A and B are shown apart, each in its own frame.
Chain A
Amino acid sequence: MSELVVETQDLTKKYGNFTAVDGIDLQVRKGEIYGFLGPNGAGKSTTIRMLLGLVKPTRGDARIFGLSIRQSPMEILKRVGAIVESPSYYGNLTAVENLEITRRILGADKKEIDRVLEIVNLSQWKNKKVKNFSLGMKQRLAIAQALLGNRELLILDEPTNGLDPAGIHEIRQLIKNLPGMLGVTVLMSSHILSEVELTATSVGIISRGRLLFQGTLEELRRKSETEICIEAHPQDKALKFLESKGLKVKARGNRLFIKKNSLDAAALNRALVMEGFDVTHLSTERKNLEDIFLEITGGDAL
């Protein structure tokens, strides 16, 4: 197993009686893009705030680069670039002046400012006051700030929020290339499943403060079993017949569903027809990620 860059144990945050994050054990491996997926209010931003030391955990600990966020926050933050929620900026300053603040605090090279402006395509606006920026431009600036210096871990909270379709595509592409290009690890939150599917290599699914799934995208997909869907008449008799063959059958509406496993659909069809049923529909259906997600989160839509 490759080395863990982020590892949390029982990480919990309560606001009064309300548990925003409930005993989360995150594991982010070096060099991967970890998609932190969850519906609105799931606790993604709160978790990220705890990782960055902005909010104190009620319980549990987070280790980044093997260091505890409680004990060595400064050593950690030096090596982490972050965006938390909506982009942060100083509106009365220009893009360059905003980046200069970051550069000074990190003690990074002067050339870094132009480099990151180039990456996010803001060079032509660099001397414009940020309060006059569009939301997408502010988001780009926030990404530029997160990239400035030699960061080993990027924690990006909904990085494509507010961008237009071209911008979303561009930033996703950028994020995708980061591990290969710069050797960084990315922890990226999102409430868009397809976004995580397109960019991430690992996924953590959070809902109502709990981590419900964690693993690679492959492992998530494997959860999607194929089912055989049959419409046969009369339905109740067909159901009894199939069950008498030792199959687990579920009736939903006017259709019957059977887990595919190693079942042969053609043989099943033949058996039904031979028995005198009218088979009007037979198909094999694979649940998509959206269905799996809904199943995992218990119906909390994205």
Chain B
Amino acid sequence: MRKFFDLLWTDIIKQKRSLVWPAAFLAPLITEALLFLDFYLRRDYILNRAAKEGLSAWQTLVLEHHLTALWFITLPMAVTVVCALLYHAEHASGGLRYTLSLPVGKGRLYLSKWCTGAIFLCLMLLLDALMLAAVGKIFRLPGGLDYQLLMSYIVNQAVAAIGILSLQMWLSSVTPNVILPLAAGFIGITTSLFLAQDQNIARIIPYAHVLYTMPLPGENNRLALEGGIFFAAFFLVAGLLCFSKKDVTE
């Protein structure tokens, strides 16, 4: 176990001075900037409209953040980029053949990479939630900070996004060409935007699950949670088997 943490530590260190950090931090930063602008320009209009629909101010903040500020697209995109960059660090200059000629094992390396991705995902979601709360405070939303709402929002997103993470980790690990997983992810995300409106279709597309993560009345969070867990496990196992069998020839 200690050895696994050593390996995980090296996988995080490998990202020192890499583009993963800006990718993971810029995504929430840009989204929150958009949200800030949105509330700055039309705070009262948004809150009045939402009140008519029976939403609290904090629920409205989440709604605006998720849809108007485009977080439901930005988050899957950011996950796609992070996964691709994590493997790019290995493929770029023979890192994979080097690390795997140490006593590491393909399976353990794959798990460690997956965990590294999950850590970046969590960092990203925490940062985003902190800034979300800050925006709410800045605009003095009525009622105290809704911790429960924020917590379930984070958890829903984490579960839905980990399905994407598992899929993208797999795609990124199979090819040394960084363009392929990025293209697959971006195409998957944009097409799922059209298809995600239909819940039956959304159910089978991991990229679409993030759309269903707002903890608001009438939202089908179960779709996101069940799908996220299923695809996370499915693609983790698939990727693990695939990677363990892989011939490291690059």
Contacts and interface: CB of A to CB of B under 8 A. Distances in A.
B102 A92 contact: no
A265 to B, nearest CB: 54
Interface in A276-294: none
A55 B16 contact: no
Interface centre among A56, A91, A101 (most CB of B within 10 A): A101
Given A101-B14, A104-B10, A107-B6, A88 B98 contact: yes
Given A55-B247, A55-B248, A93-B17, A84 B98 contact: yes
B249 A74 contact: no
Interface string B230-250: 000000000000000101110
A116 interface: no
Given A84-B97, A91-B92, A54 B247 contact: yes
B105 interface: yes
Nearest to A50: B247
A53 B105 CA distance: 9
B94 interface: yes
Contacts, number: 90
Contacts of A101: 10, 13-14, 99
Contacts of B94: 84-89
Contacts of B18: 92
A92 B16 contact: yes
A251 interface: no
Contacts of A53: 100-101
B95 A88 contact: yes
B247 A106 contact: no
A88 B93 contact: yes
A100 B97 CA distance: 17
Given A55-B249, A97-B16, A101-B10, A88 B97 contact: yes
B102 A102 contact: yes
Interface string A69-104: 000011101101010111111111100010011101
B89 A54 contact: no
Interface string B159-193: 00000000000000000000000000000000000
Q: For chain A, give the interface size range.
A: 35 or more
The bracket for how many chain B residues form the interface is 20 to 34
B9 interface: yes
Given A97-B16, A105-B7, A105-B102, A89 B93 contact: yes
B103 A77 contact: yes
B17 A92 contact: yes
Nearest to B15: A92
Interface in B43-99: 89, 92-95, 97-99
A79 B207 CA distance: 44
Interface in B1-55: 3, 6-7, 9-10, 13-14, 16-18
A131 B100 CA distance: 21
Contact of B104 (A80, A105, A142): A105
B13 A93 contact: yes
Contacts of B17: 92-93, 129
Contacts of B248: 49, 54-55
Contacts of A203: none
Contacts of A102: 102
Interface string A43-58: 0000001001111100
A90 B92 CA distance: 8
Nearest to A100: B13
A49 B97 contact: yes
B133 to A, nearest CB: 33
Nearest to B92: A91
A145 interface: yes
Given A55-B247, A88-B95, A106 B16 contact: no
Contact of B101 (A84, A87, A90): A84
Contact of B103 (A86, A87, A106, A142): A106
Nearest to B2: A107
Nearest to A55: B247
A78 B103 contact: yes
B174 to A, nearest CB: 16
Contacts of A87: 94
Given A75-B103, A77-B104, A101-B14, 7 more contacts: A49-B97, A52-B101, A54-B249, A55-B249, A56-B247, A85-B97, A88-B97
Interface of B: 3, 6-7, 9-10, 13-14, 16-18, 89, 92-95, 97-105, 245, 247-249
8 contacts: A49-B97, A49-B249, A77-B103, A88-B95, A90-B93, A90-B95, A93-B17, A105-B6
The 7 A-B pairs at the shortest CB distance, nearest first, are namely A88-B94, A88-B98, A54-B248, A77-B103, A52-B101, A78-B103, A82-B101
